[in-house]
Amino acid sequence: MGRQKIEMKKIEKEDARQVCFSKRRQGVFKKASELSTLCGAQIAIIVCSPGGKPYVFAHPSLDSVINICNSSSGSSSLSHHQESRIHELNKGHADLLARLDAARAISQEQ
C-alpha cells in the first residue's frame, strides 16, 4: 500500500479542493516552522485560499522579514531586525505602563 503519487492537476470537486488546501497549508506552515527552528532562518509565507482569504506564517515577524528583504546589505538587515524588535518591545512596555496607570487609578478610587 503506502503512499500513492498524486497527479498534479486541479482538483475538480470544490469541497475536496478546500480540504486539500487546508491540509497542505498546515503542512507547509509546519515545515516552515521546522526550518526556522532548526536553521535559525527568518521566514515569511503568504498563501491565499481559493476563496481569496490570505493566510500568513512569519518568524520572527512579517515586518522584520520584509525589512530584511528590502534592505540593501546584510549588515543593515541586522539593524533593521533589531530596530523592529526594539519597536515591538517599546510598544509592549507602553501597553504595560498604561495598564499599570489604570490599575493605580482604580486602586486610588477605592
> pLDDT tens for residues 44-89?
999 998 888 899 999 998 888 888 887 755 555 556 777 787 888 8
* Distance from C-alpha of 14 to C-alpha of 24, rounded to nearest angstrom: 15
Write down the pTM of the prediction. Answer: 0.57
Of 48, 12, 57, give the one whose Cα is nearest residue 30.
57
Single-letter amino acid, residue 90: N
The single-letter DSSP state of residue 49 is -
